[in-house]
Amino acid sequence: MDVNKIIEKLPYTKPFLFVDSLSHIDSSGAAGSFCFQKDLDFYEGHFKQLPVTPGVILTECCAQIGLVCLGIFLLSDSPEKDINDLAVAFSSSQMEFYIPVYPGETVYVSSEKLYFRFNKLKCKVKMHNAAKELVCKGELAGIIKYSSNGA
C-alpha cells in the first residue's frame, strides 16, 4: 500500500494530525516524521517562558505514526473496506521521556510490532530529534479494526 494512501486513511485532521510523512512501513513496523510548527495552539500555555511540546502530544505522535499507520497497513488486505468504518481505540501506553521537543523541531518516530492479534496491536516506539538524540521511547497498544461489515 502506498504510504500517502495510509496517511489519507488516518482518522485525524489538523490540528490533531501529527504525521507529515512516512518513510518506511512493512508488516514489522513503521517510520515517519512530524514537524511541530511554532504556531501550534498548545505552545501558548505550555510553558509561558519556554514552550515545550507536552508529553501527551509526543505520545500521540508516536501512536499515530507507529501504531495507527502500521495498523492501517496491516489491515490493507481488505481494500474493499471503507475508511469511514475504521475504529481506533488506544488501550495502553508506557513511555519514558528524555529530552524536550521545542516549537519548530522535527521528530522521527519508528515502531517495531510486538504483536497483532484479535485486532490488538502492540508496538515498541522510539522518537528521535534531528540531531538523532532519543526524545522518548516506550510501548503502545491499541485496537484497530473495521467497525462494520463483519471484520
Q: What is 41-61 written as a DSSP string?
A: GGGGTS-SSS----HHHHHHH
What average pLDDT does this structure show over 25-31? Answer: 97
Looking at CATH, the fold of the domain delimited by 3-146 is given as: Thiol Ester Dehydrase; Chain A (3.10.129)
What is the pLDDT at residue 26?
Answer: 96
Give CA separation, 16 vs 34, 52, 74, 116, in Å. Answer: 12, 17, 23, 25
Task: List the alpha helices (DSSP H) in 28-150.
Answer: 55-63, 69-74
Cα separation of 112 and 118, whole Å? 18
- As given in the structure block, the three cell numbers for residue 34 are 512530524
The bridge status of strand 86-97 relative to strand 21-26 is unpaired
What is the pLDDT at residue 87?
Answer: 87
What is the pLDDT at residue 25?
Answer: 97
Is the CA virtual torsion 38, 42, 44, 50 positive or negative? negative
| Model pLDDT for residues 96-109, shown as the tens digit of each residue | 999 999 999 999 99
What is the pLDDT at residue 76?
Answer: 84
| Model pLDDT for residues 76-102, shown as the tens digit of each residue | 876 556 666 788 999 999 999 999 999
Q: What does the domain layout of the chain look like in residue ranges?
A: 3-146
This prediction's pTM: 0.93
What average pLDDT does this structure show over 125-150? Answer: 91
- As given in the structure block, the three cell numbers for residue 137 are 521511547
106 contacts 35 by C-beta, under 8 angstroms: yes
